[in-house]
């Protein structure tokens, strides 16, 4: 499909040039000959806006852990790709996502987390809605003292704008434009890679981690998935890895995967003599009890599964050159909250913080390097960088609305 088939006139100029036919052709070559996305994909505010309006709405995007609205009547305001939204756990215990706006005059409905609510009331004119989004009432609608409730005979009363959503384990995903493939198809490659690992035993633990990188969100994601730099930047993690099981990234659908085995003296990210003595998933098959796997769920969410812990990671784009990394920690059953495991959880948290701190400087240097005109998308190491090229192709296709990101019949 040519650019003219899906792009506006003049696409060869401006931010569209970043995903031109020539760029896509370079991404399709073998890794030894390929070139990555141009610098503008990481440095141009106009391309960052193009991603916000075309990439994130067209695919499934992580919103928040469902456990952030644990009880019926809980409401959580958040931003998804720069758009105000809310997660609501309704009276039927289902978690729904809505645009955080009143359909009357467009006021933002919720500005802070709420609990034990049965209705949401707009602060502007007090129009109210139930937790399924239906209109409850409009005070003084027909004049002073003349109220209207949803019991009226109005054929098409206003309701909150629901966002297509799906929940996998403890994670709520949304599709803003309602045109993405079914979530079951989207997540299927991830489920295959996680086969044999029981995610249902994991419970979220506080606190979550927040870490800022002075780099474009895609560079933070690439670095997170890059195992080539472990030997030079993460010596403790390098020691923990088993040489005969170390893996480069591999693709599945639009996603990417990685994994490694542990040396006998380690438990993954920490050494056993200083690391957590945490309970592991019951019934792990041989080979899974001394290894981990992680998935980058396109475009900016990652899940790491260890025998005794799980981390869910969001790379939130907050600017073309700044990313906030959120990490939620999960443990097996009562280990998520029990006092006896508090020290173990704290050690693991500190290990992850140290690991991210080791990456902070290099992410900043990657961003600085992308301002160099001489850099032409990179020279790739075939063993290590095939996954990076796959990721760059998915970015380009999603912005172009091609491949699995092409327009489809809305399913709202």
For residue 160, what is the domain's CATH number?
2.102.10.10
Residues 237 and 150 in one domain: no
Residues 134 and 263 in one domain: no
132 against 238, higher pLDDT: 132
Strand partners, 114: 75
Residues 215 and 143 in one domain: no
Residues 159 and 217 in one domain: no
Identify the residue whose tokens are 């401006």. 14
Is residue 55 in a domain?
no
Which pLDDT tens digit goes with each residue over 335-382? 999 999 999 999 999 989 988 898 999 999 999 999 999 999 998 888
pLDDT band of 272, cuts 50, 70, 90:
very low
Among 63-72, 151-160, 282-291, the minimum mean pLDDT is found in: 151-160
Residues 210 and 154 in one domain: no
- Report the share of the chain in percent with pLDDT over 70: 87
Of the candidates 343, 313, 67, 96, the one whose C-alpha atom is nearest the C-alpha of residue 202 is 67
What pLDDT is recorded for position 412? 39
Residue 291 has pLDDT above 80, yes or no: yes
What value does the mean pLDDT take over residues 80-104?
Answer: 96
Residue 2 has pLDDT above 60, yes or no: no
Residue 22 has pLDDT above 90, yes or no: yes
Of the candidates 405, 373, 318, 316, the one whose C-alpha atom is nearest the C-alpha of residue 40 is 373
Residues 380 and 275 in one domain: yes
What pLDDT is recorded for position 216? 98
Which pLDDT tens digit goes with each residue over 171-222? 999 999 999 999 999 999 999 999 999 999 999 999 999 999 999 999 999 9
At 32, list the tokens: 């030894």
Of the candidates 258, 269, 330, 255, the one whose C-alpha atom is nearest the C-alpha of residue 300 is 255
pLDDT band of 296, cuts 50, 70, 90:
very high
Is residue 22 in a domain?
no
The total number of structural domains in the chain stands at 2
| Cα–Cα dist 103/127, whole Å | 9
Is residue 186 in a domain?
no
What pLDDT is recorded for position 185? 96
Is residue 92 in a domain?
yes
What value does the mean pLDDT take over residues 304-321?
Answer: 96
* Cα–Cα separations (whole angstroms), residue 115 to 1, 87, 137, 206: 49, 12, 20, 19
CA atoms within 13 A on the CB side of 345: 23
- Report the share of the chain in percent with pLDDT over 90: 71
Query: Radius of gyration of the chain from Cα atoms?
Result: 23
Residues 294 and 225 in one domain: yes
Q: Find the CATH number of the domain harbouring 206.
A: 3.90.380.10
Could you tell me the residue range of the domain that residue 324 belongs to?
Answer: 197-397
pLDDT band of 47, cuts 50, 70, 90:
very high
Which pLDDT tens digit goes with each residue over 239-248? 666 665 556 7
Show which of 143, 166, 189 is a domain's final residue: 166
Is residue 253 in a domain?
yes
| Cα–Cα dist 52/177, whole Å | 12
Backbone angles phi, psi at 24, to 5 degrees: -65, -40
408 against 271, higher pLDDT: 408
- CA 57 and chain centroid, separation: 13
Is residue 46 in a domain?
no
Residues 218 and 71 in one domain: no
Which secondary structure element, helix H or strand E, spans residue 314, and what is its range? strand 309-319
Is residue 18 in a domain?
no
Which pLDDT tens digit goes with each residue over 51-71? 999 999 999 999 999 999 999
CA atoms within 13 A on the CB side of 60: 26
Strands (E), 202-276: 202-213, 250-252, 255-261
Show which of 166, 185, 213 is a domain's final residue: 166
Q: What is the pTM of this model?
A: 0.91
Residue 232 has pLDDT above 50, yes or no: yes
The 3-state DSSP class for residue 86 equals: strand
Residues 149 and 296 in one domain: no
Is residue 129 in a domain?
yes
The residues, any chain, with a CB within 8 Å of residue 165's CB and separated by 6 or more, are: 63, 95, 96, 97, 172, 173, 174, 175
Residues 94 and 210 in one domain: no
Residues 381 and 290 in one domain: yes
Residues 341 and 249 in one domain: yes
The rounded mean pLDDT for the chain is 89
pLDDT band of 268, cuts 50, 70, 90:
low
Long-range pairs, 89-93, Cβ under 8 A, ≥24: 89/131, 90/131, 90/132, 91/118, 91/131, 91/132, 92/132
């Amino acid at each position: 499909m040519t650019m003219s088939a899906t792009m506006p006139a003049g696409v060869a100029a401006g931010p569209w040039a970043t995903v031109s036919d020539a760029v896509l052709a370079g991404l399709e070559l073998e890794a030894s000959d390929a070139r990555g996305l141009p610098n503008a994909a990481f440095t141009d505010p106009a391309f960052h806006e193009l991603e916000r309006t075309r990439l994130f709405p067209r695919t499934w995007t992580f919103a928040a852990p469902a456990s952030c609205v644990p009880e019926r009547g809980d409401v959580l305001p958040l931003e998804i790709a720069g758009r105000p939204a809310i997660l609501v756990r309704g009276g039927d215990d289902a978690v729904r996502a809505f645009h955080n706006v009143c359909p009357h005059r467009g006021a933002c409905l919720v500005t802070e987390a709420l609990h034990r609510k049965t209705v949401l009331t707009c602060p502007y004119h007090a129009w109210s809605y139930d937790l399924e989004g239906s209109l409850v009432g409009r005070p003084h609608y027909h004049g002073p003292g003349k109220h209207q409730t949803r019991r009226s005979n109005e054929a098409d009363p206003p309701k909150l704008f629901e966002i297509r959503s799906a929940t996998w384990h403890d994670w709520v995903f949304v599709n803003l434009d309602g045109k993405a493939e079914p979530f079951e198809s989207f997540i299927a490659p991830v489920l295959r890679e996680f086969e044999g690992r029981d995610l249902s035993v994991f419970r979220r633990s506080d606190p979550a981690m927040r870490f800022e990188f002075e780099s474009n969100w895609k560079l933070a994601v690439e670095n997170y998935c890059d195992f080539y730099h472990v030997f030079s930047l993460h010596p403790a993690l390098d020691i923990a890895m088993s040489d005969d099981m170390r893996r480069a990234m591999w693709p599945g659908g639009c996603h990417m995967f990685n994994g490694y085995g542990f040396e006998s003296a380690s438990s993954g990210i920490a050494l056993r003599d200083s690391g957590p003595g945490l309970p592991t998933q019951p019934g792990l098959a041989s080979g899974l009890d001394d290894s981990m796997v992680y998935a980058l769920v396109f475009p900016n969410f990652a899940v790491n599964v260890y025998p005794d812990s799980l981390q869910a990671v969001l790379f939130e784009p907050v600017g073309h050159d700044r990313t906030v990394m959120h990490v939620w920690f999960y443990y097996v059953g009562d280990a998520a909250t029990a006092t006896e495991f508090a020290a173990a959880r704290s050690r693991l948290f500190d290990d992850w913080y140290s690991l991210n701190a080791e990456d902070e400087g290099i992410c900043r240097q990657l961003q600085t390097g992308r301002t160099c005109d001489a850099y032409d998308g990179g020279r790739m190491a075939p063993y290590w960088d095939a996954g990076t090229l796959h990721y760059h192709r998915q970015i380009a296709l999603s912005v172009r609305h091609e491949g699995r990101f092409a327009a489809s019949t809305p399913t709202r």
